[in-house]
Structure 1
Amino acid sequence: MLKKIIFFFFFTVTSFSQTYRVNGIVSSNLNISLKSANVIAKPLKEKTNVKFSITDNKGRYQLELENGTDYEINVSYIGFIDELYIARSETGNQSHNFILKPSGENLREIVIKHEYKAIEIKKDTLIFNVKSFANGNERKMKEVLEKLPGVEVDKNGTVTVQGKKVTQMLVEGKSFFGGGSKLAVENIPADALDKIEVIDNFNEVGFMKKVSDSEDLAMNVKLKEDKKKFVFGDIYTGLGIGIDKSYLLHSGLFYYAPKMNVSFIGDVNNIGKSTFTYSDFRRFTNGSSNYISKRKTSNALSALTKDNVDFLENKSQFEALNLSYNFSSKFNISAFTVFSKILNKAKNVTQNEYLQNLYETIENKIETGANSTDLNITNFKIDYAPDKNQKWLYNAQFQAATNDVDNLINSITSTNSNIFKTINDADNVSFRQYLEWHKSHSLTHTTTFVFNQSYEDSKPKNTWLTNKPFLSGLIPLQEDNQYEVEQLKKLKTNTIDAVFKHYWIINSHNHLYTNIGSTFENSNFETSEKQFLSDNTINDFSEAGFGNKTIYHFSDIYLGLEYKFKIGKWTNKAVLYYHLYELKTQQIDNDYIFSKCLLQPQWNSEFEFNQSEKVTFSYKLETSFPEANLVSNRYTLQKYNLVYKGNSLLENSRYHSASLIYAKMNIHKGIFWNGFLNYTKKTETIRNQIEVEGINQYLTPVLTNNPESSMLFNGTFTKKIYQFDLKINTNLNWMSYYQMLNNELKLNSRNNQNIGLTLKTTHKKWPNLSLGYEKGFSHFGGLTKSNYKSDAINSDFEFTFMNFWTYRLNYQNLRNSNSNNQINHFELTNTSLLYQKKNSPFGFEMICNNLLNAKRKNSYMFSDYMISQQSTYILPRVLMFSISYKL
């Protein structure tokens, strides 16, 4: 299979059509280079694609034109008269400089042929004309985005533009299901798209953009006119063929009008098709203002977001409804509700190597289980602007979830073996709301007030059943024929935040911002562990130091000054915050209170070489305080082989964080650069002290002054070569820290490096083919040294033939090897064949997932004191016939 893919790829590469090149410089009649000028090459014969280019910061352009075709090249620039040039194919490669004349008073008479403007660049907005990149065979928005230069979509639906993640997804300027990208890119029909707008430093309050330093990157989808005031979308259904019992029912329905927008997405399947992912979960469950610094909260709902493919059996149900209504230009309401239900069965085989001072223990663990999760999220938002200089926003969100797990664990070591049945039931309810008020008092003064409140109630219940004693010496078990231990946890948290900000624009090069705010958090944390004996008596663990009852109070009152100044193309912001922190706990054994006054500086710097190239630097001295479970000083049973005890004397940790970001886009040369470098240095840090005996573990957190450092680098380089995109990506991570293990302090180091190379076709008439290779290295050094290597090959192929048939193939090959030269690998292949006439609403598709019927995936993992090799059993081969209907 792999050899055939590689052969076809290189056959395609060596058989591309011949081209000739036209390049030159666009300048004014005063010999000033014109950057971001549009250069459009329109073919003089039909059935040939329009070509385009945009001049770089030196006014240079370059066009790759089809051999045998003559073109009319038009150059346009605001304030100048268009100029034409006829490029003849028989001339071959040629150079032509355009000298544009100013239009003077006739500026209004210029007619811009917008249908040929493939890309428009403004200060912070990049606009793609979909027609210039799509070939008409795309079904969903994701397939269109993958053809836009500098835009990438990963398998989880996350969109990046020039290496920066899209954090807000909009359709016709309105948030789409809370702003998450996956539901948009996998459900909005490709033929509904007109333009894609990418907006950097996005802020939903227009007049706040001049003073806010938003890091959000928004993508706004502009729909075709014939898709407005009209219901569009599709319905998709599929059934397994033969003995296969697979099924799929999916719908995406949309209605967009000037006053009302409605979107519905529904999905029921048992083939592992993921509709709701971790990124969606984070987006949906945010429910807090972006002007508030968010503290971590304990939330068991993340169990809903596991990869749906990595199970023996999976059944999922998902419904989502999004509504927006404009009562007037000043008043808008929007709401969305999401329901997700997942039933799955899983099997994992793991070999754990526990690192200890004098010896190592190997545990072979087989874990099988069933999981049932339910989640409902309802969000309501009001947007009110009484005038152009004022904005009110109110948002309320309610969440309810249950998570029930029934597992069977077989743990085997050289000295012992145990079979555990574990039952986990969790109920979670939360409510979040915030109110924002923004006011532009004048051209120089703007204020913001934000009130944020959140409430969370979590009640997990855990039960362990086995016929042998476990955690000897760590839990007070009484001898019995069968052992049943039950644990109850309760966590109620109420948090209130308020902040007032004043923005003073002293002049165009100097701004001064003032911040006054506070955070108050109250939590009640309770745990209890009991053994239920065969004679119907109860062994309460509380007398042995188990059972927490903690009342937790945290407050942060702060004052901040931010001075922003600009020197030419260099923008800087110096920040200093003064915090008054107080942490108070009341527990069974003792009460504790401490307070601190801390100064926290920040520095942000950005140098913009031009519209397409900039470098950004930021530095922070950050402070982190322990949460309720970390300061609860009685024992807690965490797992069948782990006991945890908090530390009521914990104080805050501090660390330095610095990052450097570089991004460059040169459409003239077809080059895209982006790189992200982050360095973190911890001076005071909270880390667990660990005691390990066999597989049994005891952990307690301590505050240490041992230095820790980590460095992360992510970078990509993309170069367009003829009708191909060549991409090189790197992901490098280094970490060094001290770990107390069995009363001995050890210096640990972890290193991970991944380097990848991808080559894909970009010609609209060619088959879409992408072939990638990635090499990975992992190293762990501490009590022992371990190394892992990985080789991954990924390929995607799409070919349309005989006008109506489309064949798709996705192939993955991963090979892992460890320092003992043990090798494992797996291959995954998904393929489909679609038949759909151009103007027909019906489509027919044959799908085969996991064509090679792979049984499991293999992976390696490091932790502070354990090295794991895991095999995860996956869904078997699926053969399905499906029918789709497009509205």
Structure 2
Amino acid sequence: MIRFLFLLFTITSFSQSHTITGVVSDSLNIPLESANIIAKPLQENAQLKFAIADNKGRYRLELDQNVKYEVTASYIGFLEQVLIIEPNSSITTHNFKLKATGQNLKEIIIKHEYKPIVVKKDTLTYDIKAFANGNERKMKEVLEKLPGVEVDKKGNVTVQGKKVTKMLVEGKSFFGGGSKLAVENIPADALDKIEVIDHFNEVGFMKQVSDSEDLAMNVKLKEDKKKFVFGDLEAGIGNKEYNLAHAGLFYYSPKTNVSFIGDRNNIGRSTFTFEDLMRFDGGVSSFLTGRKSLTNLYSFTNDNTDVVQNKSQFGALNFSIDASPKLSVSGYGIFSKIFMASKMESTNEYLQNNSVAFENKLQNNDDKSVLGIGNIKLDYSPSKEEKWYYNAQYQSSTNDVINTINSITNLGTNTFETISNADNVGVKQYIEWHKSYNNRHTTTFVVNQAYESNMPENLWFTDQPFLAGLIPLQPDATYSIAQIKKVKNNSVDGLFKHYWIINNFNHLYSVIGNNFGYSNFETSEKQLLTNGSVNDFSNAGFGNDVNYNLNDAYIGLEYKFKIGKWTNKPGLYFHWYHLKTEQIDSDFTVSKTLFQPQWNSDYEFNKSETLNFAYRLVNDFPEANQLANRFTLQSYNSVYKGNALLENERYHSANLRYSKMNMYRGIILNAMASFNKKVRTTRNEIVLDGINQYNTPILTDNPETNYRISGYLSKRIYRFNLKLDTNLSWFNYVQTLNDVTTTNDRNNQNIGVTLKTAYKKWPDFSIGYTKGYSQFKGLTVSNYQSDEFNSDFETTFLKHWIFKAEYQYLKNTNDSNQSNYFELANTSLRYQKKNSPFGFEFTINNLFDLKAKNNYSFSDFMISEQQTFILPRVFLFSISYKL
């Protein structure tokens, strides 16, 4: 029987309650959408209750029996109305009719000690006192108790189904605006209020015209946490030399804010996510997008226990100083050092037109990565109508990898050792200027400059010849191949945009800009012979030296108009592209004038129900490495050659999003459908000989289509939340393999259901099941299925003890009905008195001492079964101290 039975629990008693429903309207019986209904208990040891009216003015209150309540209904610009509910009252329905005050109030004022939720235009404010019970340790645990707020295991926060994209503390950006560092480090007892701001824009006078889709979360701190250092320290030690040390220290005052986060552990726990790191790696104005980073920083992020060893050191400092009423200076510094050792075994089936090659592969990696980032930002406001920003960032990283591969095929056995070293440096800066001339005219000017240098060096060692016919090896006792790559990118982008508000229903925006990018791409491969001589591969078509210039000058016009509840913004951009490459064997120049239309449309049924549509036509030009027309060695079984004659891809992109929240019915619904179609496509042609691959990109008119439907529905049923979610995708494309062209279909479907308790007096418990299907149809037909169970449990007992457990079971089944599975569980027991600064915790990771995870996968030409070895069972005892 599946081991998740150890998490099952029994709820033996249910508190009695009764429900009151009704409608909040004005004196003309017009429903007051988003009215606040607050039920304040008039006796001790009872919880405050609240509700928000839906678009029809309906509300629902779940009140405890045997408790006397004062129920208040309030709405902007109306006098509040009070209803007294006696203990064991028989009242089940009550309608509130509010009278207008005749004044335009700026916000809802509730004359009580608690203000659990305040709605003000695009801002939703939660008062933490109404939701937290005092046993929470970190901000994440508080957020999970707020209605409509969810936090996933990676630290991503969503509110009413929309993802938080900017995290602020006291109105200041917190470590670049990422959420994981905030939710996992800010102490719960420091929180006073949480503000959720939709359509967020740092520049107040730009909000009306910016059409920002950002959702910001602003943390308001308790007064006693200001002007004092607060936070916590933690240290832990476990079996087999496993250990943990963590510090989160914060200082906030009206003019100076400083935060420090430090972490050192070898249990596979990462302090920040890949999305957070992309913010740190950015250094680019939000008005200019599309530039790709040279460096792959994924190894610095996400919890990674899918390794046999993981040692991590992390330090981050964030500061903000108000130097004067008009100037503030902020910035952050990041340091991360990670050592990982991984091990993977795989069985690969290479599909070819007339034969099949099999490979058993054992791969070991030792990876050492060091990253340093420094960022500073100046915010200058000479007046209320003008704003300047200057941002500069320096980034440096090194990656040292030792990779060993033992490849066993029907032709023999080869062992490859690869030593890779990469040094990366980047400097990025931008300046922004925003000016509001009057109520009708606003302008924005942005200049962005970036420089990146990447120099990876690779050494391959083996005792057998490899890639026969693809690389010019000379016979030798052992084989050593040295490769050096040098990639440098420099870009300067500029934009000027004018916003003209013709009237409340018509806006006209004009844009002029230029994006310039220069790249130099160099490669060289050589065989280092045992007699000391060198076999240079350049005589056999290897070795690239490409100078790449791409200039994109454009003008655009956007017209925004509103008809009732329907807002539209069509746009037309006129681009002049000029691409020029110079390389060893040829030079190539192409100039194009292209129109790129776009359309955004929003329909607001009511404040809690919206429909959004977006479309754009995109032209994407190749990068320097894709145009390099000489060979490049990629791996022990792969050689790549670019195509100097590549031009732009062209694709249509459209997506439709529907969102609805109804607290009266306890429903949150979010659904999205997207469609992408490439009408000019760059795809690699593949020549496969056994396990050896030769790839080169070609541009064709073969269409590629990608459909995706995703969404979730959450419904409150009694004191539970039932959540249904789905993710469906269909990808159709054309692939050429060994001169034979086939039409491929790659489809995936995942459907899941989760049941979670939603009552403060019960333990937090959730159980979920997800069914997954994957299909591939091309050279062969492959089908895979997965069954995944997840369960989480948390309970507080004897006032000061907190027990947590999480469980995962995953089963994979291939089209031959062969299955593999794994079970993974973690658990912890924590003790901390409410007013004590000390906390004690005992944690067990990988409770069942699982050795490896199993999985199936497929690509255009390969079916693979993988076994990834993971960290063993870890016992950890830790002590924390709260400042």
Say yes or no: TM over 0.5. Answer: yes
8 Å Cα contact 2:77-2:103 kept in structure 1: no
1:306 CA drift (Å): 6.1
1:513 CA drift (Å): 0.5
> Gapped runs of 5+ residues in structure 1?
none
Q: Does 1:487 align with 2:506?
A: no
Look up the match of 2:835. 839
Look up the match of 2:870. 874
Paired residue secondary structure (2:860): coil
8 Å Cα contact 2:7-2:793 kept in structure 1: no
Alignment of 1:139-178 (within 5 A): 139-178=137-176
Q: 1:757 aligns with which of 753, 775, 779?
A: 753
Q: What are the superposed Cα offsets for residues 306-350 of structure 1, whole Å, 9 maximum, x if unpaired?
A: 652111011000000001001223110001000000011110111
Alignment of 1:611-760 (within 5 A): 611-760=607-756
Look up the match of 2:821. 825
1:283 CA drift (Å): 1.2
Look up the match of 2:338. 342
Q: What are the superposed Cα offsets for residues 638-662 of structure 1, whole Å, 9 maximum, x if unpaired?
A: 0000000000000000000000011
Q: 2:468 aligns with which of 461, 469, 472?
A: 472
Is the deviation greater in 513-522 or in 95-104? 95-104
Distance 2:497 2:844 in 1: 56
Q: What are the superposed Cα offsets for residues 570-619 of structure 1, whole Å, 9 maximum, x if unpaired?
A: 00001000000011000000100001000000000000111111000010
8 Å Cα contact 1:54-1:668 kept in structure 2: yes
Q: Does 1:428 align with 2:424?
A: yes
8 Å Cα contact 1:250-1:267 kept in structure 2: yes
1:78 CA drift (Å): 2.3
Look up the match of 1:50. 48
Q: 1:212 aligns with which of 210, 213, 219?
A: 210
Look up the match of 2:799. 803
Look up the match of 2:768. 772
Distance 2:435 2:534 in 1: 62
Q: 1:782 aligns with which of 755, 778, 783?
A: 778
Look up the match of 2:255. 259
Look up the match of 1:520. 516
Look up the match of 2:179. 181
Q: Does 1:308 align with 2:309?
A: no
Paired residue secondary structure (1:17): coil
Distance 2:574 2:261 in 1: 47
Paired residue secondary structure (2:181): helix
Alignment of 1:545-624 (within 5 A): 545-624=541-620
Question: Which amino acid is 2:492 matched to?
Answer: I
Is the deviation greater in 213-222 or in 550-559? 213-222
1:430 CA drift (Å): 0.4
8 Å Cα contact 1:228-1:255 kept in structure 2: yes
Q: What are the superposed Cα offsets for residues 539-591 of structure 1, whole Å, 9 maximum, x if unpaired?
A: 00000000000000110000000000011110000100000001100000010
1:93 CA drift (Å): 6.1
Paired residue secondary structure (1:506): strand
Distance 1:124 1:698 in 2: 54
1:114 CA drift (Å): 5.9
Paired residue secondary structure (1:838): coil
Distance 2:7 2:531 in 1: 71
Look up the match of 2:74. 76
Look up the match of 1:332. 328
Is the deviation greater in 82-91 or in 357-366? 82-91
Distance 1:164 1:111 in 2: 27
Look up the match of 2:8. 8
1:773 CA drift (Å): 1.1
Distance 1:67 1:3 in 2: 39
Question: Which amino acid is 1:691 matched to?
Answer: V
Distance 2:730 2:112 in 1: 48
8 Å Cα contact 1:193-1:222 kept in structure 2: yes
Distance 1:573 1:107 in 2: 31
Look up the match of 1:544. 540
Question: Which amino acid is 2:84 matched to?
Answer: I
Q: What are the superposed Cα offsets for residues 53-112 of structure 1, whole Å, 9 maximum, x if unpaired?
A: 011111111111113323221111222222222224534461111112223469799962
Distance 1:553 1:290, change over 3 A: same
Q: 1:863 aligns with which of 835, 846, 859?
A: 859
Q: What are the superposed Cα offsets for residues 211-247 of structure 1, whole Å, 9 maximum, x if unpaired?
A: 1121211111111111111111000000114xx2111
Distance 1:26 1:323, change over 3 A: same
Is the deviation greater in 560-569 or in 143-152? 143-152
1:165 CA drift (Å): 1.9
Is the deviation greater in 853-862 or in 225-234? 853-862
Distance 1:106 1:620 in 2: 41
8 Å Cα contact 1:134-1:764 kept in structure 2: no
Paired residue secondary structure (1:656): strand
Q: 1:35 aligns with which of 33, 36, 60?
A: 33
Distance 1:307 1:189 in 2: 21
Question: Which amino acid is 1:792 matched to?
Answer: E
Question: Which amino acid is 2:368 matched to?
Answer: S
Q: 1:502 aligns with which of 492, 498, 501?
A: 498
Is the deviation greater in 195-204 or in 628-637? 195-204
Paired residue secondary structure (1:226): helix
8 Å Cα contact 2:270-2:302 kept in structure 1: no
Q: What are the superposed Cα offsets for residues 126-161 of structure 1, whole Å, 9 maximum, x if unpaired?
A: 222222222221111111112222222221111122
Question: Which amino acid is 2:501 matched to?
Answer: I
Look up the match of 1:884. 880
1:119 CA drift (Å): 2.1
Question: Which amino acid is 2:779 matched to?
Answer: L
> Gapped runs of 5+ residues in structure 2?
none
Distance 2:873 2:732 in 1: 43
Look up the match of 1:382. 378
Question: Which amino acid is 1:97 matched to?
Answer: N
Look up the match of 2:115. 117
Distance 1:380 1:480 in 2: 54
Distance 2:655 2:555 in 1: 24
1:690 CA drift (Å): 0.6
Question: Which amino acid is 1:710 matched to?
Answer: N
Q: What are the superposed Cα offsets for residues 228-275 of structure 1, whole Å, 9 maximum, x if unpaired?
A: 11111000000114xx21110000000111000000000000011111
Question: Which amino acid is 2:526 matched to?
Answer: K
Look up the match of 1:447. 443
1:789 CA drift (Å): 0.9
Distance 2:544 2:302 in 1: 30
Look up the match of 1:240. 238
The alignment of Structure 1 onto Structure 2 pairs a total of residues equal to 883
Distance 1:236 1:702 in 2: 55
8 Å Cα contact 1:303-1:403 kept in structure 2: no
Distance 1:161 1:704 in 2: 43
Q: Does 1:94 align with 2:92?
A: yes
Distance 1:159 1:108 in 2: 28
Distance 1:84 1:858 in 2: 60
Distance 2:485 2:359 in 1: 28
8 Å Cα contact 1:301-1:403 kept in structure 2: no
Distance 2:310 2:167 in 1: 29
Identity of aligned residues (%): 61
Distance 2:122 2:752 in 1: 30
Distance 1:516 1:746 in 2: 43
